[in-house]
Amino acid sequence: MAKVDGPLFSLEARGKIADAMVFFPWKGRHVVRQWLKPTNPKSTKQGYLRAALKAIGKFMSIVGNVSDGDALDSVVYQAATSKADAGMNWNAWLGGGFLDALQSANELQTGLLTDLVAVYSSLNTTDLAAYETEATALGLVDFAFGYGYTTNIPAGLQLFFGAHACYSKSILGTAPYNTDPDNWVLADITNFAEELTSDA
């Protein structure tokens, strides 16, 4: 039911009338639009994107949790906050780096997200173990998404996605961030994990 102030003059209206119109304020103006039934088709492509976003979100929660708002914030957090575009939160900026990495490889198309997963899976056993060990130490845990890409996304892969986000945004000009995470060695992975929680 619509709520109206000053009904004879219709000075302000909010809400829905039947399943036809919706009245609401927007940027200081009172507007009306057609009512549209919200949809959530849970398509395969949508599932792939949501699985990828959930994975990078879990990585960014690690970066955000080590921040306590003082000068001792982690190296990655400091770099992300200082490099983020004006008016943009650091996590949106860094998440955009991950999406840029996916889009540049056309990996957001259905089935091609698995290309990045395949690269991770093809790393040598030492590097795979390093990603898994460091991710677990940071508190990341495996998860599987309910539709679309339903294969288990291990903690190490989430850290790998975070490495791609930092590389894509050139978060720091120094190693390991200036090289593709597909080619990182044990020392690079260890340094990256350390800089997620360390201020130096």
Tens digits of per-residue pLDDT, 79-92? 998 999 888 999 99
Sequence-distant (≥ 6) Cβ neighbours of residue 147 within 8 angstroms? 42, 44, 46, 47
141: exposed, middle or buried (Cβ count in 10 Å: 0-12, 13-18, 19+): exposed
Average pLDDT over residues 122-130: 95
Binning pLDDT at 50, 70 and 90, where does residue 157 land?
A: very high
pLDDT over 80 (residue 39): yes
% of the chain with per-residue pLDDT over 90: 36
What per-residue confidence (pLDDT) applies to 11?
A: 72
| Winning range, highest mean pLDDT, from 30-34, 71-75, 130-134, 144-148 | 130-134
Average pLDDT over residues 69-82: 78
The tokens describing 84, both together, are: 């983020």
Average pLDDT over residues 138-149: 93
Provide the whole-model pTM. Answer: 0.79
Binning pLDDT at 50, 70 and 90, where does residue 37 land?
A: confident
Mean pLDDT of the chain: 84
What per-residue confidence (pLDDT) applies to 7?
A: 55
For 94-113, what is each residue's pLDDT tens digit?
998 888 877 765 544 544 67
H helical segments located in the chain: 44-65, 75-83, 90-104, 113-121, 125-138, 155-168, 186-197
Average pLDDT over residues 139-148: 93
Q: What is the DSSP letter of 182?
A: G
Average pLDDT over residues 161-173: 90
Give which of 97, 106, 108, 99 is closest to 165, Cα–Cα.
97
Of 70 and 160, more confident: 160
The tokens describing 190, both together, are: 């260890």
pLDDT over 70 (residue 154): yes
Report in angstroms the alpha-carbon separations of 188 from 47, 73, 191, 192, 193. 31, 20, 5, 6, 9
Domain ranges of the chain: 44-197
